[in-house]
Amino acid sequence: MGDLIMADFDFVVVGSGMSGGWVAKELCERGFKVAVVERGRDLVPEEDYTDFLNPWEMEHLNWKSSQDREDYPIQSEVYAFHSYTKQFWVKDGEHPYETAPGTRYKWRRGHHVGGRSIMWARQSYRMSEIDFQANAKDGYGVDWPVRYDDLKEWYDYAETFAGISGNDDGIEVLPSGGTFQPPHEMTHLEKEWKKVIEAKWPTRKMIIGRAANLTQPTEEQLSLGRGQCQARDHCFRGCSFGAYFSSKHATLPAAERTGNMTLIADMAIHEVIYDADTNRATGVRGVNTKTMEATEITARAVFLNASTIPTAMILLNSKSESMPNGLANSSGHVGHNLIGHVGGAWARGTHTGFQDSHHFGRRPNGIYIPRYRNHTETGEGYLRGFGFQGGATRMTWGGRANEAGIGADMKDRIRTPGPWRMWLGAFGETMPRFENKVTLHSSKTDKWGLPIPVMDCRYTDNEVNAVSQAAEDAKEMMEAMGAVDVISSAGSITKDTLGAPGNGIHEMGTCRMGQDPATSVLNKWNQSHDVPNLFVSDGSFMTSAACQNPSLTYMAFSARAANHAADLMESGAI
């Protein structure tokens, strides 16, 4: 038994990030008492956000120091890691993990209220019917137990509350529901690039990205203290305006205003407490990360939203005589089928035209080219496909600050806008494979007593061939627009040059949903096949990855699962 017991909750939600915030909001608004448990600290925007600081106000002029690289060897590789953002990333030495021989896995994490919803890139795309049918059609993984029509209303709901800017583009593989706020505008060069691509390849479309940045806040969003995006592109420093979606500024405040939420920060959960006599989860057990005080939190039902790898770790560590392989793991699939997105396909170039045009502000968004391979165009040597993110912006003084020079001539030169810079980068879909997994180390634990994870995740020829095609396509689309000095990864893709697994920061799949309890962990409602009052709605439920950024899908599924759980509790079924 723990030294401290917290009781009288209807639900306990482990994790306060992208999905956990949605679960808390929905359950609290349905009138249930909810404990939201976060292993990290609560953030104080006035102290932790740095979106109003200038580089010269930061140590090392905001450059990563040698000490940063030593303390954060994996986290510091992320584009969003700087002196003014390192407070959002874990110190790798304090949160160790291991990789199996032959595996190079990059696990990017932030432990604080809001989780990675504070640091995400805000790209928000729906999965399509094509994605939900993919496993059944090509035989990888297991069939999804849902289809697009099951999620459509929940996508609508999530987009409306979160605030997604974009267009209804009429693209089958990237559906929309008419819920968008006004989009950011393409630059002049991007508009011309769109014309060129769609004329040369009618099977391809270029659109403005769909981003979770408020461009026309609703009354509900304003009532939560959120404001309009100021187009400063400081999002990864934390947004003092609450203009991009995060659980810290949207779902958790919505839950809090009901009076039904209890937020418990600095609490690392080790296991779900299970009663074999009733076949029910009765709460969670963990430790205060500051005081090391053991704690139990009891509840009538449990939601795990700790993110893909920690959720699997908690279940695998929740062993009992009746469940020796971990809780909810009769299938043997907890921890397996680890998926994500693969990168490594890119192209960059310069355009010398459009010298009479510029753009205003720092739009926190770019363009998007949805998947077309193995959809409107064939793909040779691989299944599924990839989508591109990118953009075309004009070089300003900031990009020329390192040029040699001094005095008035230099000042005049860098005041003059430079050429246009163009770039494309692809996210490819990784295939679900049982062999890709996370397990618990047999003897090593972290300083809070939880066994550390061991990652075993490898790419196959399918990923190599898809990314190779994406790199060739990126280069070709860059050159079609008349770009010069084009460099790309085309011709250099191997299993070793692909971005390491985990680099996309979109880990998924370790507690996948499916129709058959023998081959999946969850049913179509994100509910455990084995333990009826246990739910999982973070990325671990994903049965396949598609190639779109997944956060909007987490939101939709989490809202849907929470309302189903609420219905079950109201009926007395759980």
CA 306 to chain centre: 13
Amino acid identity of 77? E
Average pLDDT of the segment spanning 312-318: 98
Residue bearing tokens 């976060």: 38
What pLDDT, on the 0 to 100 scale, is given for residue 399?
A: 64
Task: Give 442-474 pLDDT, tens digit per residue.
Answer: 999 999 999 999 999 999 999 999 999 999 999
Give me the pLDDT at residue 417, please.
Answer: 84
What digits encode the pLDDT tens for the residues 277-307? 999 999 999 999 999 999 999 999 999 999 9
Helix (H) or strand (E) holding 314: helix 308-317
- Residue-level pLDDT at 7: 83
| Residue 213 identity (one-letter amino acid) | N
Average pLDDT of span 219-224: 98
Return the pLDDT at 411: 81
pLDDT in tens, 257-269: 999 999 999 999 9
Provide mean pLDDT across the span 519-540.
98
pLDDT at 347 over 80: yes
Distance CA 18, CA 13 (A): 12
Closest among 565, 432, 553, 433 to 146, alpha carbons compared: 553
Q: 101 CB contacts (<8 Å, ≥6 apart)? A: none
**Does residue 403 have a pLDDT over 80?**
no
Predicted pLDDT of residue 361: 83
Report the pLDDT value the prediction gives residue 380, as an integer from 0 to 100.
94
- Averaged pLDDT for residues 343-358: 93
What pLDDT, on a 0 to 100 scale, did the predictor assign at position 121? 96
Give the pTM. 0.96
Q: Are 552 and 175 in contact (CB under 8 A)?
A: no
The identity of residue 458, as a single letter, is R
Please report the pLDDT score of residue 3 as a whole number. Answer: 66
What contacts 573, CB < 8 A, 6 or more positions away? Answer: 532
pLDDT, tens digit, for every residue of 11-33?
999 999 999 999 999 999 999 99
Kindly state the average pLDDT of the residues 29-43.
Answer: 98
461-484 per-residue burial string, b: 16 or more CB within 10 A, e: under 16: ebbbbbbbbbbbbbbbbbeebebe
Q: Which of 109-123, 409-423, 446-460, 493-507 bottoms out in mean pLDDT, i.e. has the lowest?
A: 409-423
Q: Is the pLDDT of residue 1 over 60?
A: no
pLDDT tier for residue 185 given thresholds of 50, 70 and 90: very high
* Mean pLDDT value across residues 40-69: 92
Quick one: pLDDT band at residue 573, thresholds 50, 70, 90? Answer: very high
Rg (the chain; Cα; Å): 23
d(CA 537, CA 564): 12
Report residue 248: phi and psi, to 5°.
Answer: -60, -35
* Mean of all residue pLDDT scores within the chain: 95
For tokens 């008035």, the residue is 408
Tokens read off for 242: 């609450």
